[in-house]
Amino acid sequence: EPEVTQTPSHQVTQMGQEVILRCVPISNHLYFYWYRQILGQKVEFLVSFYNNEISEKSEIFDDQFSVERPDGSNFTLKIRSTKLEDSAMYFCASRLITDTQYFGPGTRLTVL
Q: Which residues bind other proteins (CB under 8 A)?
A: 4, 6, 31, 33, 35, 41-45, 48, 50, 55-56, 58, 91, 93, 99-106, 108
Query: CA-CA distances (angstroms) from residue 84 to 9, 55, 56, 57, 94?
Result: 18, 27, 25, 21, 27
* Residue partners of 100: CB distance under 8 A and separation at least 6: none
Please identify, using beta-carbon distances, which residue of 7 and 105 lies nearer to other proteins: 105
Pairing, β 102-103 against β 53-57? unpaired
In the complex, minimum distance from the CB of residue 68 to other proteins, in angstroms, rounded to a whole number: 18
**Which residue, 6 or 87, has its beta carbon nearer to other proteins?**
6
CB of 49 to other proteins, least distance (A): 9
Taking the complex as a whole, the smallest distance from the CB of residue 16 to other proteins amounts, in Å, to 27
